[in-house]
Structure 1
Amino acid sequence: MDISYLTFAMAVIILMLKPGPFMLTCMTLSFEGRWRSVVAFWSGYAVMRLVLYFILLSTLTLLPAGFGMIFIFLKAFTAMLLFHMGFKGLKTASELDTEGAEALKDKIKPRSLFANFTLGGLIQLSNPYDYVFILLVIPSFFATTAFAPMDITYIYLTVCAVDIIINGAYVVPILYFQKKIFSPALLKKVNLVTSICLLLIGLYIFSTIFMRDAMVQTNMISEEMAMLTSLHSLIAL
């Protein structure tokens, strides 16, 4: 394909400048100074993105209408995981008065790198806007629905490079200044605030379950299914 990857990268930068659930979670982890957790979270997101890019772009013409219904349930599971991490963080913050600051800091740091890796993958897997980007933006930009493995690799590496730059611009300053102003009292406040942020991000992700316009536009779910699930939601309320 005759592709200008630099132009594509500029388009991706514009799309990524607005922080979403992924970026907000990275920033939340950064406020606690947990760079290992940030790396684990981003790695899970990047690995799942690689899998999705190859599966979706290589089978673009074979995807059936309605396949996106499963991602509504994945979004709910992701929100539940964020709720769990948020409530666990609130519990840890409340223990600062009975534990030493260093002991609490050690307890907060390892808050499951595997859980953060898994959470990153789930956020990628459950985000319908990423599917809109893969199924609509990329084919429209390159004017084709046939992507060779090398094309997909180049596209993926371009997106990852932009992702690292944008994430770094948000996260690195937070990590740097967090180390300069650390104190035991601040640790408790930061852990409390970031735990609440995780809960709010979970609520945001859960709320987007009921926003299915993007899925309908890409035939991820049919209009009939969208109307049916909306009706069920109203009945539940």
Structure 2
Amino acid sequence: MNLFLPMFLAGLVYMLKPGPYVLAMGSLALDGRWKSMIIFWVSSMISDTFAYLLLLISISALPENFGFVFIFLKAIAAVFFVIIGINGLMNADRIDKISADKTKEKMTYQSFWESFGAGFMISLSNPFNIIFVVAVVPTIVNQFTFTVLDVLIIRLAVAAANAVIVIAYCTPIMMMRHFLSHKFLRWIKTISSLAMLGIAAYIFINILTQWDLYNVGLLGDKINV
């Protein structure tokens, strides 16, 4: 509990910060794609777990300007969101009202890997996740050396906080769909697909500016020209 409770509370506060991950989950909920939400969430949890294990166990050995790797990861994440958004727009008219009322979703091989890849890359490419791990976590738990068990307890606490916020945020959105007309559901599907493209645009702009990587110090000091 010495590790779990403080990290659970810190995870709750951290998850309240809006970002591409929360927006993506909200868009999937608005579209009634609960299977994609689960896959997206699980893949992001897997990605974050790898990051926690790697960073916390080797926290003292991180190279200077470590953030350059995120430029490539962000590009991959943006491509996944473009694919999901375009596919959603192409299928916006294909809504079965009965299935929509039951919030059913047909999961194909392609849609599975789109959701899995998007969730995995959006977490892996988020520099704020990294700074949370390498700076916030050691400060909160007041230790700078971690065993695998320590890391897994910390990861479980943050994942539990993540699940609480996602459920609280997405459940009302999912329930709201039961009271909407077929025409309105089509509009929602279009809007949620555009939101996915908006997230991709946000990531692409971020790649060009890299303001977040500078802000958290993963690209060194920002140079004023």
What TM-score do you get using the length of structure 2 for normalisation?
0.87
For 1:194, the equivalent position in structure 2 comes to: 192
What runs of 5+ residues in structure 2 fail to find an aligned partner?
none
CA deviations 1:123-163 (Å, max 9, x no partner) are 01100100110111011212222111111011000001101
Seen in structure 2, the aligned counterparts of structure 1 residues 103 and 114 have a Cα distance that, compared at 3 Å, is: farther
For 1:110, the equivalent position in structure 2 comes to: 107
Seen in structure 2, the aligned counterparts of structure 1 residues 86 and 214 have a Cα distance that, compared at 3 Å, is: closer
AA partner of residue 208 (structure 1): N
What runs of 5+ residues in structure 1 fail to find an aligned partner?
232-237
Calculate the aligned-residue CA RMSD, in Å.
2.7
For 2:13, the equivalent position in structure 1 comes to: 14
Seen in structure 2, the aligned counterparts of structure 1 residues 91 and 63 have a Cα distance that, compared at 3 Å, is: same
For 2:169, the equivalent position in structure 1 comes to: 170
Computing the radius of gyration from Cα coordinates, the structure with the larger value is 1
CA distance in 1, matches of 2:30, 2:137: 33
AA partner of residue 46 (structure 1): M
Seen in structure 2, the aligned counterparts of structure 1 residues 156 and 107 have a Cα distance that, compared at 3 Å, is: closer
State whether structure 2 residue 150 is matched by structure 1 residue 146: no
CA deviations 1:157-186 (Å, max 9, x no partner) are 0001101100000011111221x1244322
For 1:203, the equivalent position in structure 2 comes to: 201
Please report how far the alpha carbon of residue 210 of structure 1 lies from its aligned counterpart in structure 2 after TM superposition.
4.3
CA distance in 2, matches of 1:213, 1:90: 30
Q: Is the CA contact 1:56–1:135 (under 8 Å) kept in the aligned structure 2?
A: yes
AA partner of residue 10 (structure 2): A
CA distance in 1, matches of 2:104, 2:34: 15
Please report how far the alpha carbon of residue 50 of structure 1 lies from its aligned counterpart in structure 2 after TM superposition.
0.7
Q: Is the CA contact 2:71–2:207 (under 8 Å) kept in the aligned structure 1?
A: yes
**SS state of the match for residue 195, structure 2?**
helix
CA distance in 1, matches of 2:218, 2:95: 51
CA distance in 2, matches of 1:208, 1:80: 14
**SS state of the match for residue 91, structure 2?**
helix
Please report how far the alpha carbon of residue 87 of structure 1 lies from its aligned counterpart in structure 2 after TM superposition.
1.8
**Which moves more between the two structures, 60-69 or 183-192?**
183-192
**Which moves more between the two structures, 49-58 or 142-151?**
142-151
